[in-house]
Amino acid sequence: MTTLTDLSMAEARDGLRARKYSAKELAEAHVAAVERIKPLNAFITATPERALAAAAEADRRLARGEERAMEGLPLAIKDLFCTEGVLTTAASHILDGFKPPYESTVTANLWRAGALMLGKANLDEFAMGSSNMTSHYGPVESPWRRKGDNRALVPGGSSGGSAAAVAARAALGATGTDTGGSIRQPAAFCGIVGMKPTYGRCSRWGIVAFASSLDQAGPLTRNVRDAAIMLGAMAGHDPKDSTSVDTPVPDYEMALTGDIRGLRIGIPREYRMDGMNPEIERLWEQGKAWLRDAGAEPVDISLPHTKYALPTYYIVAPAEASSNLARYDGVRYGLRVPGRTLDEMYENTRAAGFGKEVRRRVMIGTYVLSAGYYDAYYNKARQIRTLIARDFDRAFKVCDAILTPTAPSAAFALGEKMDDPIAMYLNDVFTVPASLAGLPAISVPAGLSGDGLPLGLHLIGRAFDEAGVLKIAHVLERAADFRARP
């Protein structure tokens, strides 16, 4: 028998139903794995008692034949999701001791489907980062190492703890959130699948907000089928989130037919950038060939405003963040550093509570919204965002999905790029356009770099066509046959 922690979510689900093992055994194996990977710092808070209690309930339900879609499946939860009675930090000092009296809609949906929580996964502070280096609780290490080099690598970010936990076989899957690539880039770095659904597909209620018009929850799993299972449980309309969309959630697993014959796959010429890493370029070509071999038809497309996506993103996201983070003021919850006046208390609290990257983005955001700069920055960025979305609308008239690399490189070492925020921001160059347009996108592990690190391919689909994206991703996954393990 394989180790329980090596199972995919689908295998574990079927194994539980076939009574090959109990939910208790499955949970215990993962609780032990969480303990074992402690050196990776993937979790901020482990919740083994909670996992085991939920497993006991799962076993009772399994015994009665009343199992639900994700009965007994252990997950890591990005510590950006509010979980009732469990410390929720957003990896920020400013939320010290914060235990929400409420449960986010997405996690509540998962628990209602029978899944159980192993713990709260580490992340970049307030999900701001691409390396998981900005966490107040310290960086997460990727379980991967370069060939012949034992230096610790970043897992990517901001859902770095989630990706590391899933890649290290400490959780069958994990929730992530993606604002500009925060699910897809760490999935690529850690050799797993990560999907950002369409904006509005999953409720944002109870997720600590970073940039409200971009934030979207999604699954990180070890294969595409698991992503389909987990997304199905997470998604759905929520009247408590006005931006959540009331459209039926299809059975995503059913969409994995393996048949993509006749589908047109757009290859955007603007994504082929000067100085592009040849390994990445080769992988992209390979991906195109795999899909062609499966009967799809690659077509060249143009997304002319691509080059403006990154600067647009780095105006819109900080602008919203500067406002969203104003509530962390020391008045009602979390950290308070006293001062002689109210203003001084604000300054002391926020200076002590926010890390450097968060402060940088709050300041950028405040600046671009300021009188006299608003039109030149924020308003212009909004206009360009519309153009970027229109690029995709046009492209989807001639193709059914778009294939790109996920990230411009494989994982880098801990501490690299920290002195150059622009270089760090470039990590998101391929993922940000789909975020700005609100489109569903997935990263699938597709190959290894020369020094043995995972590389991902990225598929972008039409709004609310997660099923189509998953179907193509599933074919890509089979063709790539990625078996490497950290």
Partner 1 sequence: MTTHAPHLIRGESGDWEVVIGLEVHAQVTSQAKLFSGAATAFGAEPNTQVSLVDAAMPGMLPVINGHCIEQAIKTGLGLKAQINRRSVFDRKNYFYADLPAGYQISQYLQPIVGKGEIVLDLPDGRGRTIAITRLHLEMDAGKSLHDQHPSQTYIDLNRAGVALMEIVSEPDLRTAEEAGAYVRKLRSILRYLGTCDGNMEEGSLRCDCNVSVRHPGEKLGTRTETKNVNSVRFVMAAIEHEARRQIGVLESGGTIQQETRLFDPATGTTRPMRSKEHAHDYRYFPDPDLLPLELSEAEIERIRASLPELPDDKKKRFIEGYKLSAQDAGVLVAEQAAANFFEAVAAGRDAKLAANWVINELFGRLNAAGKPIDASPVAAERLGALVDLIQDGTISGRIAKDVFETMFETGRDPAAIVEEKGLRQVSDTGALDAAIAEVLAGNADKVAEFKSGKDKLFGFFVGQVMKKTGGKANPGLVNDMLRKKLSS
CB of 234 vs partner 1, minimal distance in Å: 15
Element (H, E) at 76: strand 74-78
Q: Is 72:23 a contact under the CB 8 Å cutoff? A: yes
Q: Is 148:104 a contact under the CB 8 Å cutoff? A: no
Helix runs in 211-329, H state only? 224-234, 278-293, 309-324
Nearest to 384 by CA among 428, 432, 421, 422: 432
Q: Which of 158, 244, 409, 435 is catalytic?
A: 158
CB of 423 vs partner 1, minimal distance in Å: 28
Of 28 and 215, which has the nearer Cβ to partner 1?
A: 215
402/380 Cα distance (integer angstroms): 26
CB of 119 vs partner 1, minimal distance in Å: 19
> What's the first-to-final CA gap in the chain, in angstroms?
21
Nearest to 134 by CA among 117, 114, 155: 155
Of 324 and 431, which has the nearer Cβ to partner 1?
A: 324
CB of 257 vs partner 1, minimal distance in Å: 35
Of 79 and 391, which has the nearer Cβ to partner 1?
A: 79
Nearest to 119 by CA among 203, 35, 234, 20: 35
Of 167 and 209, which has the nearer Cβ to partner 1?
A: 209
Cis peptide before 158 (omega within 30 of 0): yes
Give the interface with partner 1 as residue ranges (CB under 8 A): 81-82, 88, 90, 95, 98, 100-102, 104, 204-209, 211-213, 239-243, 319-320, 322-323, 326-327, 329, 331-333, 342-343, 346, 366, 369-371, 374, 378
- Three-state DSSP class for residue 12: helix
471/476 Cα distance (integer angstroms): 9
Q: Is 157:411 a contact under the CB 8 Å cutoff? A: no
How far from 17 is each of 62, 65, 222, 232, CA to CA, in Å?
A: 7, 8, 20, 19
Q: Which of 92, 135, 159, 182 is catalytic?
A: 182
Element (H, E) at 187: helix 184-190
Beta-bridged to residue 52, according to DSSP, are: none
CB of 230 vs partner 1, minimal distance in Å: 20
Element (H, E) at 346: helix 342-353
Beta-bridged to residue 413, according to DSSP, are: 153
Of 202 and 229, which has the nearer Cβ to partner 1?
A: 202
DSSP 423-443: HHHGGGTTTHHHHHHT--EEE
CB of 115 vs partner 1, minimal distance in Å: 19
CB of 28 vs partner 1, minimal distance in Å: 31
Helices 309-324, 356-369: axis angle to 10 degrees equals: 100
Q: Which of 78, 196, 417, 471 is catalytic?
A: 78
CB of 102 vs partner 1, minimal distance in Å: 6
Of 193 and 321, which has the nearer Cβ to partner 1?
A: 321
298/215 Cα distance (integer angstroms): 30
Of 378 and 430, which has the nearer Cβ to partner 1?
A: 378
SS3 percent helix, strand, coil of the chain, rounded to 5, is 45, 15, 45
Active site residue 182: yes
Of 44 and 301, which has the nearer Cβ to partner 1?
A: 44
Of 136 and 204, which has the nearer Cβ to partner 1?
A: 204
Q: Is 45:73 a contact under the CB 8 Å cutoff? A: no
CB of 42 vs partner 1, minimal distance in Å: 22
396/345 Cα distance (integer angstroms): 51
CB of 459 vs partner 1, minimal distance in Å: 26
Of 160 and 365, which has the nearer Cβ to partner 1?
A: 365
Active site residue 158: yes
222 DSSP assignment: S
187 sits in the region (left: phi over 0; alpha: psi -120 to 50; else beta) called alpha
Catalytic residues: 78, 158, 182
